[in-house]
Chain A
């Protein structure tokens, strides 16, 4: 028995380290799950004079995608978001801290997956949503409650695993 102890200790340690390899340190537990989305009123990009606030999206399940023109992984998820928008998913964008004012041109050039994109120039609304970096995507239900937060770009695998089951459940509850 005694000679096995080092091996057992090694196995336990290796187990912890193995699990640690696949943890994402950016995946910080969000205190928002199950709570109402923070309120905001922000100008809509490309439509001077109009504003958007989450209440306008009440009654449907929607995604709030927080992105920025300077963010490389946002560009990576752009084409997949376009597919989602075409398949009828409601995506709203929050353009976070776009100091160089590039969002409008970029969306005109590459196409916009968003119903509207709002402009959060000083990053305050992003902070209200607990954003640490772009992209982050929130799933918000019919009554304005945040159901899920995803950190990092969305691709097909992530969509199938994290989003589809939840959206299916939420759509059913109407």
Chain B
């Protein structure tokens, strides 16, 4: 399986605080990789670095064999190929749902508005949101907003999707509908890197699970092995706490 994304010895600090300490991982094409770990372990930062929202201090990030983290490398084309969805949805409140989705395709990909709108409505239909096309974000529930955010990212036809704890802000009733969307994306063969607290979902959907602890990938492997027989003590500790809190 060809390697779509390779993160190699990436280091990132915020001031004196080291957040990512020598992270290396591969993501193959059409693979789903789940990042798990405690808060502050660096999951979000890693995703933001892959997307070049944060510059890395050291290391490389290879996308289809090109080091996109090289200083001076133009970030905008990279971001067209890498889609990202955030924990707090971040929809544009002054635009309708439809406009939120068509903004980037029209401005960045230069697609004609009518065509962009048609594609947008198709996507909305697929995820059961077509009746919300002219609504504004503040009229939608959290689950609906997050699904719109995912559609917005998909509208750019990315090659990889990064999802940063996208269900963490939703109440349990609404989590399910978002997870369904992610399942659908997997069925379509989307390459994804997910940071998530939903262990059950990670176990179900991931091709590989990476456990981050204090800025390092302490252990990674297939879900069956990671969740049943973790090798490292840090992993065991973390999973024990997760189980104790009833999240697994």
Are A and B bound to each other? no
Q: Which residues of A contact B (CB under 8 A)?
A: none
